[in-house]
Structure 1
Amino acid sequence: MTEWRVLLTRPAEESQALAASLAQAGIFSSSLPLLEIEALPVTAEQQAVFQALHRYCAVIVVSKPAARLSLRQLAQPSPHLPWFSVGAATAQILADHGLNVHYPLTGDDSEALLQLPALREAIAHPGARVLILRGEGGRELLAQRLREQGASVEYLELYRRFLPAYRPGALMQRIQLERLNGLVVSSGQGFLHLQALAGPDWPQVAQLPLFVPSPRVHEMARAAGAEKVVDCRGASAAALLVALGSFAL
């Protein structure tokens, strides 16, 4: 696996942690963050929601930024309120704060979360209300499926994501300068930003092995012309290492 030289595209702090895990396995990585997080202003609406979490039978946190920003506003947590997250890393942030958190052991996406027995149990009564904490925009699948099961779903958006400013050609220049032979994205939006930053160089970039966290992002990348897409079945360092080890250069 030491032949790999991969580009990490997560926010800077997350890329740093992932790079450390890869380095321990002898894998070179370079970081070019394609997602920057900006917290939205705290509003009276946000404060009111956090002060009345007892109204909900489940709180779903879709990302690490949503978890961190939620904890800034969270008062004394209720030990009886179940919290849910899409992935283990987000769950750990919440659990470290003493919250009762459930998450799927396999898969880091909405589809895996929807199969979780604890979530089904939480909404299995009339009038069930679910709160989803997330950034601006995002997928509607989770809310749609929960509503189909009879739950009332509300969103609270805590941040926005944007592509940092890079000069034209920065992506291809980094790939060539550091002789990178693999790309890693951690979300659908991360992939869209990768493609946007590539611009006219996308046909060349699309030839490199691309490691993605889920079947959904795999489909996105293939539809956009990426030639060698590997579904890591998760966004963790462990999942990426397994995928790197199973793909022959």
Structure 2
Amino acid sequence: QQSIIAIGKSTAKLVADLLACEVICPEAGSDSEAVLAIPELQQLADKRIGIFRGQGGRELLAATLRERGASVDYIEVYKREQVQHDAADIAVFAAPDRIDAITVHSGESLHSLAGLLSTARKSILAIPIVVPSARVAKQAEQSGFKQVVNAHGADDASMIKALERIHANAD
């Protein structure tokens, strides 16, 4: 029997709609750590697992599944490319009087944002930033962000709830 496991709720819904099948998804969180906590992934002797992902990325999921006895293959279905922006454009856009919060959906997007910050760095670091997990929250804090809010998921509903919390605290 084959099972399909999605890393987040949005992906799970998309796959379920496309394939008309049941998709297993972590109850809380939308990262490799949350997927690894799923009961179906604890005993994996002689199991074959395919991970659909972009080129590159974290190795934690595959490494842990292999430690648990699975044979793991990657199916790379997209390529991540950083969008090129001029730092001056970012500084104008990210002035504290222009935006109330920043959202990032991964450690990689946080890293890209941090790489763009230059002269506007201090003002941008004061803007609340919403992240999808404790791991990315730690990365945001290490990057110098002062107000880090963990949405506990990269899906739209989790991000919106986190933004609502920021807005409620601003009043």
> How far apart in 2 are the matches of 1:177 and 1:146?
43
Contact in 1 for aligned 2:82/2:112 (Cα 8 Å): yes
> How far apart in 2 are the matches of 1:228 and 1:174?
19
Does residue 104 of structure 1 match 2:104?
no
Match of 1:115 among 37, 52, 67: 37
Segments of structure 1 that go 5 or more residues without pairing to the other structure are 1-79
Larger strand percent: 1
Match of 2:132 among 203, 206, 213: 213
Q: How many residue pairs end up in the alignment?
A: 167
CA shift digits 1:190-215 (9 cap, x unpaired): 11111112234223211111100001
> How far apart in 1 are the matches of 2:135 and 2:109?
13
Equivalent residue, structure 2, for 1:198: 117
Q: Give, as a single letter, the amino acid of the residue that structure 1 aligns with 2:38.
A: L
Segments of structure 2 that go 5 or more residues without pairing to the other structure are none
Helix, strand or coil at the partner of 2:98? coil
Q: Give, as a single letter, the amino acid of the residue that structure 2 aligns with 1:153.
A: V
- Deviation, 1:162, is 1.4
Does residue 234 of structure 1 match 2:156?
no
Contact in 2 for aligned 1:208/1:227 (Cα 8 Å): yes
Say if 1:113 and 1:89 are closer, same or farther in 2 by CA, change over 3 A.
same
Match of 2:95 among 173, 176, 188: 176
CA shift digits 1:23-66 (9 cap, x unpaired): xxxxxxxxxxxxxxxxxxxxxxxxxxxxxxxxxxxxxxxxxxxx
Contact in 2 for aligned 1:81/1:100 (Cα 8 Å): no
Does residue 88 of structure 1 match 2:9?
yes
Match of 1:188 among 101, 107, 115: 107
Contact in 1 for aligned 2:29/2:153 (Cα 8 Å): yes
> How far apart in 2 are the matches of 1:90 and 1:136?
18
Contact in 2 for aligned 1:107/1:233 (Cα 8 Å): yes
> How far apart in 2 are the matches of 1:235 and 1:114?
17
- Deviation, 1:177, is 9.0
> How far apart in 1 are the matches of 2:52 and 2:39?
20
Contact in 1 for aligned 2:126/2:145 (Cα 8 Å): yes
TM-score, with structure 2 as normaliser? 0.89
Contact in 2 for aligned 1:183/1:208 (Cα 8 Å): yes
Say if 1:200 and 1:136 are closer, same or farther in 2 by CA, change over 3 A.
farther
Larger RCO: 1 or 2 (CA < 8 Å, sep 6+): 1
- Deviation, 1:138, is 0.5
Larger radius of gyration: 1
Contact in 2 for aligned 1:185/1:211 (Cα 8 Å): yes
